[in-house]
Amino acid sequence: DAGVIQSPRHEVTEMGQEVTLRCKPISGHNSLFWYRQTMMRGLELLIYFNNNVPIDDSGMPEDRFSAKMPNASFSTLKIQPSEPRDSAVYFCASRRTGSYNSPLHFGNGTRLTVT
Amino acid sequence: AQSVTQLGSHVSVSEGALVLLRCNYSSSVPPYLFWYVQYPNQGLQLLLKYTTGATLVKGINGFEAEFKKSETSFHLTKPSAHMSDAAEYFCAVSFSGGYQKVTFGTGTKLQVIP
């Protein structure tokens, strides 16, 4: 079990640039979650997918944010254009659907810095 | 709506002392409760979980938590703190209905003083 894999680990970009964060969930997990963590706001759920379908994107802060899950083994979170206030650690997590008590498995996160 | 409240954003204990991190939830249906730990520059890892059955749940690294329905609480304890326990701890709740959304508390940073 390779765990949830996120890339890149660190991303530094300039304001206005497009940023794409990537996530590979654990094989067999068909729920995927994107979280954002900051000192000020803590851990925020941005969006989650069930069987590759977006279920709840109410946490996506603005239209500048978009997420896709084209297949069961890959998801992206895109920010276009990026702004300094988007600086945060972004986590991807996956879970096995069908068992409500199954825990989330987190990746190590992508630390995004927008200058 | 489900919610979780963690009392105290920072807790300091001496090495060897009791660790007590508080978590309360609100729910109209039976909850599933979790504690996660986050070490610096890492993702969250599961410490323990409560589903049904025994209300005292044992987790990794000597931690345990007790589900008290009457108090809507799920406090995390460890009898003797170790320096390696310094981390941030998150309580989380999920329910059997809906789309299995997991709601996290705001986290408690544990400092262990030598």
Identify the burial level of A74 via C-beta atoms within 10 angstroms of its C-beta, where 0-12 means exposed, 13-18 middle and 19 or more buried: middle
Is 60 exceeded by the pLDDT of residue A7?
Answer: yes
Burial A25-43 (b: 16+ CB within 10 A, else e): bbeebbbbbbbbbeeeebb
Cα separation values, B86 from A48, A79, B103, B114, Å:
30, 33, 23, 11
Does the beta-carbon distance from A103 to B46 stay under 8 Å?
yes
Does the beta-carbon distance from B104 to A109 stay under 8 Å?
no
Q: Is A100 on the interface with B (CB under 8 A)?
A: yes
| Least confident segment among A42-46, A95-99, B60-64 | A95-99
Q: Which of A39, A43, A46, A95 to mutate to test the interface with B (most CBs of B within 10 A)?
A: A43
- The strand pair at B3-7 and B19-26 is best described as antiparallel
Q: Which two tokens stand for residue B50?
A: 């409560």
Rounded Cα–Cα distance for residues B12 and B82 (Å): 12
By percentage, how much of chain A surpasses pLDDT 90?
A: 78
| Beta-carbon contacts of residue B19 (< 8 Å; ≥ 6 apart) | B11, B13, B63, B76, B77, B78, B81, B85, B110
Backbone angles phi, psi at B52, to 5 degrees: -140, 170
Rounded Cα–Cα distance for residues A93 and A35 (Å): 8
Are A33 and A92 in contact by the 8 Å Cβ rule? The answer is: yes
Q: Is A59 on the interface with B (CB under 8 A)?
A: no
Is 70 exceeded by the pLDDT of residue A69?
Answer: yes
* Per-residue confidence (pLDDT) for residue B101, from 0 to 100: 73
* Three-state secondary structure call for residue B84: helix
Rounded Cα–Cα distance for residues B103 and B69 (Å): 18
Is 80 exceeded by the pLDDT of residue A101?
Answer: no
Rounded Cα–Cα distance for residues A105 and A95 (Å): 6
Minimum-distance CB partner of A106 among B44, B94, B95: B44
Is 70 exceeded by the pLDDT of residue A16?
Answer: yes
pLDDT per position in chain B (114 positions), as tens? Answer: 778 999 999 999 999 999 999 999 987 777 889 999 999 888 999 999 998 888 899 999 999 999 999 999 999 999 999 999 999 999 998 876 656 678 899 999 999 999
